[in-house]
Structures are given as C-alpha cells and as structure tokens.
C-alpha cells in the first residue's frame, strides 16, 4: 500500500452558495452582496484553499412573491449560474463548478452545449445539478405555462438527460461525430454536438429532489445526490435508502455519491458554539421572517400576532397554497397544515419564532460544537460511510467558510478523514467517480448505433 493511501474512509466538502433565503444572514456589517462577483470569488477561493471538491449554485427561475408583492425579507435576485461559474473558473484552478439547471424548461441541445462549454473552459470541472421545478407560475416566464404535469416531471427529465448525454458523447475519440436523434413528443431533435469531450469526458451529473420518483431518477441517472438530510440518523437512513435504489438500478452501491446540505456553527468550546448558534438563529429568523413563513400558509397578513406568542388561532383564508409561495409549499392543504402546525407547537410549547426555527429551513438543522467535537462527529460519519461529503452552506457570505477551512479542516486531516490534497485536476477525479454511465461499454451509448460523420 502506498504511503499516501488513506487508511480511514474520508469525507469531502462542497460549498452551497445560497442565494435567496433566510439561512444566510445578509444584514451583518461583514456580509457581502449576493450579486457582487467579489462575494463569489472570496467564497470559491476560500473553499479551494480548504480543498473543497465543488462550488455549488442553486437556481430560481422566478422571484418569489408574498401576499401579492415581491418577497423582500431576504435578498432578491441572483445572477445566472453558468455565467458566474465561468467567471469563477478564471480565478480558481481545481474546485468543481456545479450549476443547478432546470430540466423542465431548458432545451437539451442548448443546455448540453452551455454545460459542455463550462466543462471545457474550466479544464473538466463542471457539473449539472438536475432539478425539475415545474409549476405554471415559473413556466409563465418561458411562455410554456403549466405544459408539464407534476407527475411527469421526472419522465421528462430522464428524456432530457438522455439527450444531453448523447450530445456530449456524440464526438468520438476517433475523430467521428455521431448523429443524435430523439423524438420524445415534448421535443424532437436531430443534430450533432458542437464540442469535443473535456478532460473529465463530460460534466458530472448531480440531482436534487427528494420524492420517491426523484430518488429513483437519481439512482438511475445521477452521479451525486444533493440531499437535505444532514443530521446523523436521518443521513444514515437516507444513505441506506439511496444505496438500495442504486443497486436496484443495476449500479454498485457507492456509484451515487451522497452530499447533504449542512450548516456548521463552530467555536473554541461547545458552550461558545451553542451561544453562537442562538445568535445565528435569531439573525436568520427575525420576527418578520417568522410571520412571513406562516403567512405563506395562512394567505393573509399576520402582523397582529406576536412572533414570541402562540401560532395564530385564525384559519387560513385560502384552501390550497398557490405556486408563488415558495417551492416548499407547493399545493399544500392549508387548513390541514395549519392544524398540524398548531398541534405540534402546542405539544412542544413553541412560540411562532421557535416553531419556525424548528421547521422553517430546507435543511434539517445545524451541526453545532467546538472544532474538536465536530471533527470527532464527522469522523464517525466517515467511518460509518453515512455520507460522501457535505455541501456546506455558510450562514455568512463571504466570510462564513473561514473557520471551517482554517480550523475544522486541519482537525479532520489530523484524524485522517479529509483529503490533504486534490486527487487530480477534474471534478470527477476529486469525487472519486467512475467513468460516466454512458462510457462503461461501447454498447451502452445509443449514439453509437446512429450514422456518423468524419470530423475534419
């Protein structure tokens, strides 16, 4: 065994640069702007200093609305992910660049070309995080309204992904290009990809979507799954479920890497970290944010209610939540939800704010403790292979990764559970991925069966 071969299983970090939401505190004096390149540069370069495998950007195709107005309790608006990542490629040299892009509204040939361009220009560091947000309200931005039924979102995504892959694979290594022809009803395309392969063959495929269909889709088609289940026990249950689905899809259990989103609150001692976590929560869930969260369900102003008092006793004014009220509340029955929330808050004696603390975030809760405590905990995640890594979501931009990189990473390295150098130059190498799914045997690639052309 070579001297530098890890003897302990390792975890990795990616960074999830959150845009619009309340889990980033944008009001502190040290906070940057969510649209200024300097914020992105600072975070990406810090992450690269900490040997993070990837810099990850979410996407929102339409601004959220709240009680008929733009939602202005957090910052609004974020630049296009691929444009930002192309700029970051120029000021970094190793870190992977992951763009969330919607499979429902993007056209496969165009999307394939844009992602492949990023992959080539970055030296094989790009990835596509496939999401399927599909409501008519978002679709209105694309002149497509609600063209796709919610139930069909993953069937469509699978067709798009298959086509995108065929475009990426259409240029052979032996100077031939193979025709890509697909007729799926929603789209009917014929053509050739416009670029050769990158240093990692083609962009890595991530997936984020938590339904059964979403998990099965990831097990069939993705290489990394971004989840919301980061606490130990839920993460373990999630990993077991995902590995079972991956094997059922005919792949090795570890073929799909698992990266939950996670927030870390760290300090010298556990007690200091707990105090800091209270400060973070107070800043994240302001009284106005707590009320706005409930207003998404109640459908009316709750300004008359005390955020430190019990949940509202009135019933929601609408029956079902509308599409403008944030993806998390899609078509929720409001009376049922309000009743369940009131019951939970009463049983646990939670005020409005405390309740929103508990249920409000997309992620399950932070990991809080001293650098040593958290490093010991993460070593357990590594030893039991509960995750392959975490997509770290800093609560401060752009300084929120500093203590993770300067204090937590060395603790993890000392324990042998975190890389001490990048494994190679491409994202595929950093993540320890096998060859792309379509490249595991000539027969696996449908493009090989089609007419081909000499590339001169």
Ligand X SMILES: Cc1cc2nc3c(=O)[nH]c(=O)nc-3n(C[C@H](O)[C@H](O)[C@H](O)COP(=O)(O)O)c2cc1C
Contacting residues toward ligand X, per CB under 6 A: 58-60, 100, 102, 131-133, 208-211, 213-214, 226-228, 261, 327, 362
Residue 179: CB minimum distance to ligand X, A: 31
Distance CA 342, CA 146 (A): 33
Residue 19: CB minimum distance to ligand X, A: 8
Alpha-carbon distances of 196 from 112, 117, 126, rounded to whole Å: 12, 10, 15
Residue 105 among known ligand-binding residues: no
- Asked if residues 130 and 164 have their Cβ atoms less than 8 Å apart, the reply is no
Residue 367: CB minimum distance to ligand X, A: 16
Residue 259 β-bridge partners:
226
- Asked if residues 135 and 146 have their Cβ atoms less than 8 Å apart, the reply is yes
Residue 16: CB minimum distance to ligand X, A: 8
Residue 437: CB minimum distance to ligand X, A: 20
Residue 154 among known ligand-binding residues: yes
* CB nearer to ligand X: pick between 100 and 447: 100
Residue 150: CB minimum distance to ligand X, A: 8
116 by Cβ neighbours in 10 Å (0-12 / 13-18 / 19+) ranks as buried
SS3 389: strand
Distance CA 65, CA 326 (A): 8
* CB nearer to ligand X: pick between 3 and 151: 151
**Residue with tokens 């004096």, as numbered in its chain:** 29
Helix-strand-coil percent breakdown of the chain, rounded to 5? 40, 15, 45
Write the CB contacts of 344 (distance below 8 Å, at least 6 apart in sequence): 350, 355, 359
Residue 113 among known ligand-binding residues: no
Give the gyration radius of the chain's Cα atoms. 22
Phi, psi of 359 (to 5 degrees): -110, -5
* CB nearer to ligand X: pick between 54 and 208: 208
Residue 418 among known ligand-binding residues: no
Residue 162: CB minimum distance to ligand X, A: 18
**Residue with tokens 């947000």, as numbered in its chain:** 133
Distance CA 342, CA 305 (A): 14
* CB nearer to ligand X: pick between 97 and 131: 131
Binding residues for FMN: 100, 150, 154, 211
Binding residues: 100, 150, 154, 211
């Amino acid at each position: 065994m070579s001297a530098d071969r890890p003897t302990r299983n390792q975890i990795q970090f990616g960074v999830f640069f959150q845009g619009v939401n309340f889990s980033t505190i944008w009001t502190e004096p040290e906070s940057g702007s969510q649209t200024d390149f300097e914020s992105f540069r600072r975070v990406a370069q810090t992450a690269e200093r900490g040997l993070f495998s990837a810099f990850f950007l979410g996407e929102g195709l339409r601004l959220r609305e709240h009680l008929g107005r733009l939602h202005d309790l957090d910052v609004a608006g974020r630049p296009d992910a691929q444009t930002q990542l192309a700029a970051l490629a120029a000021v970094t040299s190793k870190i992977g660049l992951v763009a969330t892009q919607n499979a429902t509204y993007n056209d496969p040939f165009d999307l394939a070309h844009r992602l492949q361009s990023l992959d080539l220009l970055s030296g094989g560091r790009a990835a596509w995080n496939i999401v399927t947000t599909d409501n008519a309200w978002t679709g209105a931005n694309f002149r497509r309204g609600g063209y796709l039924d919610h139930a069909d979102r993953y069937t469509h995504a699978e067709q798009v992904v298959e086509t995108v892959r065929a475009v990426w694979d259409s240029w052979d290594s032996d100077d031939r290009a193979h025709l890509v022809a697909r007729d799926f009803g929603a789209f009917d395309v014929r053509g050739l990809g416009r670029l050769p392969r990158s240093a990692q063959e083609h962009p890595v495929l991530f997936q984020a979507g938590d339904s059964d269909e979403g998990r099965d889709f990831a097990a069939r088609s993705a290489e990394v799954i971004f989840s919301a289940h980061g606490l130990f026990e839920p993460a373990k249950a999630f990993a077991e479920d995902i590995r079972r689905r991956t094997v059922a899809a005919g792949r090795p259990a570890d073929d799909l890497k698992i990266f939950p989103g996670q927030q870390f609150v760290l300090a010298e001692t556990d007690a200091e970290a707990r105090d800091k976590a209270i400060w973070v929560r107070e800043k994240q869930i302001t009284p106005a944010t707590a009320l706005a969260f409930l207003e998404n369900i109640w459908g009316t102003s709750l300004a008359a209610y005390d955020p430190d008092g019990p949940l509202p006793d009135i019933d929601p004014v609408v029956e079902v939540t509308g599409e403008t009220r944030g993806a998390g509340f899609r078509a929720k029955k409001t009376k049922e939800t309000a009743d369940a929330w009131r019951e939970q808050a009463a049983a646990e004696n939670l005020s409005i704010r405390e309740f929103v603390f508990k249920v409000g975030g997309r992620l399950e809760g932070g990991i809080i403790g001293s650098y040593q405590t958290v490093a010991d905990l993460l070593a357990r995640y590594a030893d039991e292979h509960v995750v392959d890594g975490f997509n770290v979501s800093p609560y401060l931009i752009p300084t929120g990764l500093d203590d993770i990189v300067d204090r937590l990473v060395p603790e993890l390295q000392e324990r042998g559970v975190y890389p001490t150098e990048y494994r190679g130059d491409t994202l595929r190498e950093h993540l320890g991925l096998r060859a792309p799914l379509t490249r595991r045997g000539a027969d696996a690639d449908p493009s090989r069966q089609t007419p081909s052309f000499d590339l001169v």
